């Protein structure tokens, strides 16, 4: 498929369906998570080919700690191996890897490898891949409010200057554009506390495809759906067309 010139600059993905993918095959849930990692690798590579500048994926929510202890432990093992095996290749492909969320909840060895991955890839510009771990949208907004309040209290910011753009500077993705396209796999039609602030005008795309089966063609279908929509941002359709023709 040849995509039109206009592609979303920032794609956010809730990667859902690993467990169900494994269950359908009578395999352990960990097998689904491993397959999901392979799918993520494919999607990152295809985002680079499509010249998409930012990809933000929901890898592990703050609520995922409530899953069975054995599954969480296995997820951490898979995550650790991915940090060992995949980061060098991502670096060679020009991908900047960043982690958003409260990483202090992870074991020190995982924190160290996450920070090392960020440092190694920090100068890359082909694609920024934000990986949300131990993340929740409400948590992010609360943390931003705390940091903003501290800045006001310490005199670094005037309360009179607080507005939406100023508040956004305290968010985890302060230096990124808001997502243009939000994809959720697995058939569920909710955003599950992901990028609540940033998704105010994002286009949503829900697909029944389970995450391990989400491939390059699936990504192109989501992008094509995005390209078929008219983004008005509160304006009328006539206003949008007028600005394009101007």
Residue 109, token pair as written in the block: 């060895």
Cα–chain center distance at 228: 22
Question: Residues 233-242, buried b or exposed e (16+ Cβ, 10 A)?
Answer: eeeeeeeeee
Residue with tokens 């609540």: 196
DSSP string over 86-109: THHHHHHTTEEEEEES-GGGS-HH
Instruction: Give the phi and the psi of residue 171 in degrees, each rounded to 5.
Output: -85, 165
Residue 193 is classified by DSSP as: T
Residue 171: its H or E element:
none
Which of 16, 134, 178, 180 is labelled catalytic?
A: 16
Give the closest residue to 195 by CA, choosing from 219, 218, 176: 176
User: 206 - beta bridge partners?
Assistant: 184
Between CA 171 and CA 44 the distance in angstroms is 24
Contact 14, 183 (CB under 8 A): yes
Contact 185, 16 (CB under 8 A): yes
Q: Confirm whether 134 is a catalytic residue.
A: no
Rounded to a whole number, what is the distance in angstroms from the first to the last CA of the chain? 30
Which of 64, 93, 124, 193 is labelled catalytic?
A: 64
Q: Confirm whether 130 is a catalytic residue.
A: no
List residues with catalytic annotation: 16, 64
């Amino acid at each position: 498929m040849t995509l039109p010139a206009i592609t979303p600059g920032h794609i956010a993905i809730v990667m859902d369906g690993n467990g169900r993918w494994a269950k359908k095959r009578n395999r352990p849930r960990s097998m689904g998570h491993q397959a999901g990692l392979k799918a993520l690798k494919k999607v990152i590579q295809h985002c680079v080919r499509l010249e998409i500048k930012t990809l933000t994926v929901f890898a592990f929510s703050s609520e995922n700690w409530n899953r069975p202890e054995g599954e969480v432990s296995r997820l951490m093992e898979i995550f650790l191996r991915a940090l060992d095996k995949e980061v060098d290749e991502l670096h060679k492909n020009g991908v900047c890897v960043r982690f958003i969320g409260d990483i202090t909840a992870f074991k020190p060895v995982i924190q160290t490898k996450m920070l090392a991955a960020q440092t190694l890839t920090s100068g890359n510009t082909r694609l920024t891949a934000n990986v949300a771990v131990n993340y929740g949208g409400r948590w992010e907004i609360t943390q931003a409010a705390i940091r903003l309040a501290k800045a006001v209290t310490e005199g670094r910011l005037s309360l009179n200057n607080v507005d939406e753009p100023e508040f956004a500077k305290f968010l985890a993705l302060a230096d990124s554009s808001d997502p243009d396209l939000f994809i959720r796999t697995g058939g569920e039609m909710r955003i599950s506390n992901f990028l609540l602030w940033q998704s105010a005008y994002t286009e949503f795309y829900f697909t029944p495809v389970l995450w391990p089966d989400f491939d390059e063609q699936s990504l192109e279908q989501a992008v094509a759906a995005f390209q078929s929509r008219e983004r008005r941002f509160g304006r009328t359709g006539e206003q949008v067309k007028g600005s394009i023709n101007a």
